[in-house]
Structure formats: structure tokens, C-alpha cells
Amino acid sequence: MNDILATGILGILAPGAIIFCGFFMLFLKLKRRTALKLLAWPLTVDLAIAAIAFLMHGGNTYTGGMAATVAGIFAAIGTSTGRHLLGYIEGNVYHAGLIKYDPRSLK
């Protein structure tokens, strides 16, 4: 019984984490200013990532749908953490996080 439970949980968490890593790698490729502007809209970013993950991986299987759901949850954690660590740009105002940038250097 434990093997079935562990395989099921890992079968959902691992693909969800891998899907999230793909979105995270795309986020790292963005220009810093663009990334900080996206972090000003956390709910929109979370919903977009969850919707894209579900459309790509949800399919007709329970495991794919759950993996997409896990990726959406990881995305929500990632955007909250990103806002806290990096800050965000709302309009033309930079709200600094724990890691501070010089607003003039953000292009």
C-alpha cells in the first residue's frame, strides 16, 4: 500500500515540479524590468501559468491534470516569493524587495 501511495504522490509532484521549472527558466530569460512589471500582477501571472500548464498537460488523464495543478501551486508560491525577494514595478514606481535594484539600471 505504501508503494502505491508513494508512487502516486511522486507521479504527481515530480512532473508538476518539472513543469514549474520550465516556466521558471522562461522567467529567468526575461529582462529584469519586464519580470518586475509582471510581478506587479501576481494573480494574473498565476492564472496564466496554471491555464497554460493545464492546456498543455491536463489532457485526459488524472495525473496530467494533477501535475498541471501542482505546477500552478508552485507558480503561486514562486510569484509570492519573487515579489518578496525582488520587489515589483507598479506603473512607474519600483517597490523594492529584499534584493534591491537601482531603478535607473533596470532597462
As a residue count, the chain comes to 107
In angstroms, the first-to-last Cα distance of the chain is 54
Given a cut of 90, is residue 100 above it in pLDDT? Answer: no
Mean pLDDT of 37-54: 92
What does the pLDDT read at residue 3? 59
Q: CA 69, CA 1: separation in Å to the nearest integer?
A: 24
Other Cβ atoms within 10 Å of 94 Cβ, number: 20
pTM for the model stands at 0.81
Q: CA 36, CA 88: separation in Å to the nearest integer?
A: 4
What are φ and ψ of residue 88, in 5° steps? -160, 160
- What are the grid coordinates assigned to 92, written together? 512607474
Mean pLDDT of 58-79: 86
